[in-house]
Amino acid sequence: MKTKALILCALFAALTAVGAFIKVPFLYSSITLQFFFTALAGVLLGARYGALSQLVYVALGLAGLPIFTSGGGLGYFLYPTCGFLLGLIPAAWVIGTLAGDGRSMKRVVPAALAGLAVLYAVGLPYMAFILNVYMGKGMNIGAVLMAGMVPFLPGDMVKIIVVGVLAPKLLPRLHLRPVDTKASS
């Protein structure tokens, strides 16, 4: 089972990279499918392997592979959106932990919402820091929320609903169950 889990980690790292290139550009960020694949990884692989898949994705991008929406490399730490990339890791872990066995939309959707909250909790302060300290934009909290969260929420809700519908159907068809979570009641 561990070999299968590691292969699936690599697959979800690759899918998240593909999700970065399916994008609609915005002012400081883009609407992408990265969170969609992160949420699926959390539900399908469980907390540990879901987070590992996102760690692999982020590490490969920071190592220089051009798999982020605007490239890759250590210089990405100075991009306002780098915090959202870093936030994918704990988001997958939270989703995997809360989704339990992932066989119910009633468990998956709240888990994905919690993961999204974690993503914003990491990404928005990072964005504010880079925009205000490094780039000197002088943006207040409302402007940062408008630049990094508000326009993305409708799309995020659609992604969460699709994950909520797909994940419970994919698990039995793929003979997957989260490999590191306890079965829920």
**CA angle centred on 123, ends 28 and 56, rounded to 5°:** 105
Given phi > 0 = left and psi -120 to 50 = alpha, else beta, which region is 160? alpha
Alpha-carbon distance 32 to 30, whole Å? 6
Which pLDDT score, from 0 to 100, does residue 175 have? Answer: 66
Which pLDDT score, from 0 to 100, does residue 68 have? Answer: 95
Given phi > 0 = left and psi -120 to 50 = alpha, else beta, which region is 71? left
Strand duo 30-31 + 24-25: pairing: antiparallel
CB atoms near residue 118 (< 10 Å): 19
What pLDDT tens digit does each residue of the chain (185 aa) get? 688 889 999 999 999 999 999 988 776 677 899 999 999 999 999 999 999 999 999 999 999 999 999 899 999 999 999 999 999 999 999 999 999 888 899 999 999 999 999 999 999 999 999 999 999 999 999 999 999 999 999 999 999 999 999 999 998 877 665 544 444 43
Which pLDDT score, from 0 to 100, does residue 81 have? Answer: 94
Instruction: Annotate 148-182 with DSSP letters as a single string.
Output: HTGGGHHHHHHHHHHHHHHHHHHHHHTT---TTSP
Global model pTM greater than 0.85: yes
> Cβ distance 55 to 61 under 8 Å?
no
Which pLDDT score, from 0 to 100, does residue 23 have? Answer: 84
Which pLDDT score, from 0 to 100, does residue 28 have? Answer: 66
> Cβ distance 20 to 57 under 8 Å?
no
First to last CA, the chain: 23
